[in-house]
Amino acid sequence: MTVPEAATTDTPTGPAAAAWTAEQVSGELRDAWLLLATASVLLERTSEGSMHPELRRARRCGEEALDLASSVEQLIGGGLAQLRDQIGGGDVTSIGRVVGSLNVSRSQFAEAAERITALPQRLRAAEQQLHDATGPELDVAEVTRDWARAIEHLGLLADSVTEAAGALGSYADRVLGRSS
């Protein structure tokens, strides 16, 4: 597949290309950080109470990896800020860059809210499946009580994340001078 001529003229070169590449690295690092955070939470839950040295080492390494990833992301961002100041890209596009970042965050909050909103119904279905499949030999009252509380909390979580998405959208509009 060939790249249209117009697209090749918009490709950054020199220091701007380096900044663009560093931005991509930073984005990929954030994605990896989210995977690390997810894996760390899962490890923490599955190894809770275990004192096995290998599990402790894995938890410790996961925590160190998260700290290091955060530090690396800050270093990349600091270097990018310095580079933008030197090549003149800091002031001219900073509002656009901020609004772009806000819009990405807003979209991610909205996507998370959409996913979270579907979870209570799925948990209710699991509760019903448990009731349908359980005989008198199992006492599921405590399980279903915990799940009912989880459903309530999921509702609160969805509301909070939805509100965050709305606030980010409103703020981005105000930064751009649009009334909301």
CATH architecture classification, 93-180: Orthogonal Bundle (1.10)
The CA distance from 5 to 43, in Å, is 49
Q: Which residue has the higher pLDDT, 81 or 64?
A: 64
Q: What is the mean pLDDT of residues 94-107?
A: 81
Closest-CA residue to 58 (of 72, 71, 47, 70): 47
Query: Does residue 7 contact residue 33 with C-beta atoms inside 8 Å?
Result: no
Compute the mean pLDDT over every residue in the chain, rounded to the nearest whole number.
Answer: 84
C-beta of residue 109 within 8 angstroms of C-beta of residue 168? yes
List, for residues 17-59, the tens digit of each pLDDT value. Answer: 888 888 888 888 888 888 889 999 999 998 888 889 999 999 9
Q: According to the model, what pLDDT value does residue 10 have? A: 59
Dump strand ranges (E) for 3-137. Answer: none
The confidence score (pLDDT) of residue 5 equals 45
**In the chain, domain spans:** 13-90, 93-180
What's the rounded mean pLDDT across residues 163-178? 88
The mean per-residue pLDDT over the stretch 129-150 comes to 87
Q: E strands along the chain, which residues?
A: none
Rounded mean pLDDT of 10-22?
A: 78
pLDDT at site 180: 53
What pLDDT, on the 0 to 100 scale, is given for residue 97?
A: 72
The type of residue at 136 is: P
Res 1: pLDDT: 41
Among candidate residues 164, 180, 30, the one with its CA nearest the CA of residue 102: 164
Nearest-angstrom CA–CA distance, 78 and 59: 29
How much is the pLDDT for 164?
A: 93
Please give the model's pTM, rounded to 2 decimal places: 0.59
More confident residue, 93 or 117: 117
- Checking if the pLDDT of 148 tops 90, the result is yes
Mean pLDDT, rounded, for 65-91: 83
Q: Which residue has the higher pLDDT, 52 or 93?
A: 52
Q: What is the dihedral of CA 112, 113, 119, 121, to 10 degrees?
A: -150
Supply angle C-alpha 40, 42, 47, rounded to 5: 95
